[in-house]
A = this chain, B = another copy of it.
Amino acid sequence: MSNIQESAQALEQAIRESEEFNNLKEAYEKVMNDEIAKKMFDDFRSTQIELQQKQMQGQEITEEEVEQARKVVETVQQHEAISHLMEEEQKVNEFINGISRTITKPLEELYAEHAE
Contacts and interface: CB of A to CB of B under 8 A. Distances in A.
Contact of A21 (B55, B92, B106): B106
A48 interface: no
A24 B96 contact: no
A21 B56 CA distance: 31
Number of this chain's copies in the assembly equals 2
B12 A10 contact: no
Contacts of A56: 56
A100 interface: yes
Given A96-B104, A110-B28, A7 B3 contact: no
Interface residues of A, number: 46
Contacts of A114: 28, 32, 38
Interface string A1-41: 01111111111111111100100110010001000001000
Interface in A41-62: 42, 55-56, 58-60
A7 B10 contact: yes
